[in-house]
Amino acid sequence: MQKKTMGKIISEVFDIPLEGISNVPCAELIGNTMLNIDGCIGIKKYECDEIIIRTKSYLLKVKGEKLSMLTFSQGRVSIRGAISAYLIEEI
């Protein structure tokens, strides 16, 4: 029998996406020009070819060209530009 975490049980019982109740950031990529990230607590690096976002447990690295942040409020960041890659690294 597979052991379930408390977050997974709550997610199933209340029909809530696991991303909404865990420490995992939620990222939504729209085409290759817009990336919305929920769960942000800070910005580690901000350059036109790379932006690094901090979350509680992860770093989210966004690479591309002409990158800029449209918004950063209430734990949500929107990044615009020619996004070539993004990856999540555990801290």
Considering the domain boundaries, does residue 73 fall inside one? yes
Considering the domain boundaries, does residue 32 fall inside one? yes
- Report which residue type is found at 49: D
- Report which residue type is found at 24: V
Q: Considering its fold, how many domains does the chain have in total?
A: 1
**pLDDT tens for the 91 residues of the chain, in order:** 455 565 666 667 767 666 556 666 788 899 999 999 988 999 999 999 999 999 888 899 999 999 999 999 888 999 999 999 988 888 8
Q: What is the domain extent for residue 47?
A: 25-90
What is the 3-class SS of 36-89, one letter each residue?
Answer: EEECEEEEEEECCCEEEEEECCEEEEEEEEEEEEEEEECCEEEEEEEEEEEEEE
Considering the domain boundaries, does residue 10 fall inside one? no
Considering the domain boundaries, does residue 77 fall inside one? yes
Check if the beta carbon of residue 44 is closer than 8 Å to that of residue 16: no
> How is residue 85 written in tokens?
């890659």
Sequence-distant (≥ 6) Cβ neighbours of residue 1 within 8 angstroms: none
Considering the domain boundaries, does residue 13 fall inside one? no
Considering the domain boundaries, does residue 20 fall inside one? no
Considering the domain boundaries, does residue 11 fall inside one? no
Here the CATH number for the domain that contains residue 77 is: 2.60.40.2000
Does pTM top 0.95 for this prediction?
no
Considering the domain boundaries, does residue 4 fall inside one? no
